[in-house]
Structure 1
């Protein structure tokens, strides 16, 4: 599994930076965002360091599918019943701030209308 010693998400995976975990297995970690845009806002990340969605290929298809399939399960477990939003920001023009692939899953009343 690849890691980047300078990546904040790799440090969270390694336990060097604390997080409020929502889910973890051998391949994925989900944790609550420290600056939430919605009442429920979790990030789902692969444990292997992949910088952006553009850096994925056919070999990542199963992992990407598992990330997407985890979203509804987590939202249900966290009490979100009226819908949620999934977002993967990619690259500078896509608004990506941390260069470790991550999917935002935001639930609750109209989470995209943060002021």
Structure 2
């Protein structure tokens, strides 16, 4: 997608601090971190949201979580981190390319917000 920010990051056309890559995923630091560790894990292929990705490519959907666990461990949080998938603008999704937030490094209360 020509106008997708995350597609631009995956393609290397938009700068980002990459922290992890697999054949199907790319992980990079969030530009507006909500925790000391705040990394986004995205599929290399464009899918609007998590539901679309899971229906189209379940293996990549699962790999997002595996990559997120690797990121959390590499950041020093192998056992205590939060994974967040926002689907739709009402849930806070602002970039319409599936992305999994990895948050760690501070107390994360529930409910979030």
TM-score of the two chains, using structure 1 as the length reference = 0.87
Structure 2 residue 34 is the aligned partner of structure 1 residue 37:
yes
Question: C-alpha root-mean-square deviation of aligned residues, in Å?
Answer: 2.0
Which deviates more, 80-89 or 25-34? 80-89
Q: Structure 1 stretches (4+) deviating beyond 6 angstroms? A: none
Question: Alpha-carbon deviation of 1:112?
Answer: 5.7
Structure 2 residue 24 is the aligned partner of structure 1 residue 27:
yes
Specify every segment of 5 or more residues in structure 1 that has no aligned partner in the other structure, as ranges: none
Structure 2 residue 1 is the aligned partner of structure 1 residue 17:
no
TM-score of the two chains, using structure 2 as the length reference = 0.89
Specify every segment of 5 or more residues in structure 2 that has no aligned partner in the other structure, as ranges: none
Q: 2:67 aligns with which of 57, 67, 70?
A: 70
Which deviates more, 82-91 or 57-66? 57-66
**What secondary structure sits across from 1:96 in the alignment?**
coil
**What secondary structure sits across from 1:56 in the alignment?**
helix
Tell me the equivalent position of 1:83: 80
Judging changes above 3 Å, is the alpha-carbon distance between structure 1 residues 10 and 83 closer, same or farther for their aligned structure 2 residues?
same
Which deviates more, 40-49 or 73-82? 73-82
Q: 2:49 aligns with which of 24, 47, 52?
A: 52
1:18-40 deviation line (CA, Å, top 9, x unaligned): 11101112211000111100000
